[in-house]
Homo-oligomer: A and B are copies of this chain.
Amino acid sequence: MNDVTELLKSHRSIRKFTDQAVSDELINEIVACGQAAASSSNVQATTVIRVRDNDKRKQLVDLAGGQPYVASAGAFLVFCADLHRSKLACELQGGDFSEGMTEHFIIATVDVALAAQNCVIAAESLGLGICYIGGLRNNPQEVSELLELPDQVYPVFGLCLGYPDQDPQLKPRLPISTVLKEEVYQNPSDLSGVKAYDEHIRAYYKARTGGKKDSCWSEEIRALVGKESRPHMRDFLAKRGFTMR
């Protein structure tokens, strides 16, 4: 429809990068774009930690479950949900920080994601490729210690940025009619969109892998939500001050 919507619709995760460094100027511009995103009550709960040190990057590879591009990307940023700064500001004004509210956890987490996605769009517009690293939540306590995060701060995800050294295909998405509904959540038991997508993505995987990968969305989703996922998260978050009351 226009250059921006074409850019948005051309997103693919990039996991192989050239050796070209990402300049400080670009990172600053990218983070400034992140800051410009909407923020709930202007809380600005996003803190970004840029990790350059090679040893630390290698440790993060392991902590994220062995994703080598965490070390090989031109830049690696950790996006943290940060209510520590809000706590300090509250206390500066003589207030008592109300710790552990579920609502504050949602506000902070959404804030980070909105800012990060702005960073991603900025980066992609500048010719960089990106990959989100949710794997940091495999070992969030160790990541928090490595980055010396204070309480009221947790690492939501990492972000690899760099100049792409691969050109993967777009991954097809669910039919828009399945995700965009009118007035109410119509036909909540209707599986027709999922089944159509299962066929579509199975064909896509087969084509991309020369027939080797033969699976579909609902099989992958079963693997994701059909078991406990990162069951340490609740206790980790509680320990960091996010008790979810």
Binary interface profile of A, 51-90, with partner B (CB < 8 Å = 1, else 0)? 1110010000000000000000000000010011111111
**Copies of this chain, tallied across the complex:** 2
Interface centre among A42, A94, A194, A219 (most CB of B within 10 A): A42
Q: Is the CB–CB distance between B185 and A153 below 8 Å?
A: yes
Of residues 98 through 119 on chain A, the ones whose CB sits less than 8 Å from some CB of chain B are: 98, 101-104, 106-107, 109-110, 112-114, 116-118
The bracket for how many chain A residues form the interface is 35 or more
Cα(A32)–Cα(B109), bound, Å: 23
- In the complex with contacts A35-B173, A113-B113, A103-B185 CB distance below 8 A: no
Cα(A181)–Cα(B92), bound, Å: 22
Binary interface profile of A, 113-154, with partner B (CB < 8 Å = 1, else 0)? 110111011100110001010100100000000111110010
Q: Is the CB–CB distance between A184 and B148 below 8 Å?
A: yes
From residue A135, how far is it (CB to closest CB) to chain B in Å?
A: 10
Partner of A86, one of B27, B29, B224: B224
CB-CB nearest in chain B for A32: B176
Cα(A74)–Cα(B230), bound, Å: 41
Cα(A100)–Cα(B169), bound, Å: 34
Residues of chain B within 8 A (CB-CB) of A157 are 110
The yes or no answer to A37 lying at the interface (CB within 8 A) is: yes
Of residues 196 through 245 on chain A, the ones whose CB sits less than 8 Å from some CB of chain B are: 217-222, 224-231, 233-234, 237, 244-245
The yes or no answer to A21 lying at the interface (CB within 8 A) is: no
Q: Is the CB–CB distance between B117 and A220 below 8 Å?
A: no
Cα(A50)–Cα(B53), bound, Å: 46
Q: Is the CB–CB distance between A103 and B233 below 8 Å?
A: yes
CB-CB nearest in chain B for A93: B222
From residue A57, how far is it (CB to closest CB) to chain B in Å?
A: 10
Q: Is the CB–CB distance between A2 and B114 below 8 Å?
A: no
Of residues 3 through 42 on chain A, the ones whose CB sits less than 8 Å from some CB of chain B are: 3-5, 7-11, 13, 27-29, 31-33, 35-38, 40-42
From residue A67, how far is it (CB to closest CB) to chain B in Å?
A: 13
Partner of A40, one of B4, B80, B134: B134
A–B complex contacts, Cβ < 8 Å, 6 sampled: A37-B117, A38-B132, A50-B183, A88-B189, A93-B221, A106-B156
Q: Which 9 residue pairs spanning A and B have beta carbons closest together?
A: A95-B226, A113-B113, A4-B125, A89-B218, A117-B117, A95-B222, A103-B230, A148-B184, A93-B222
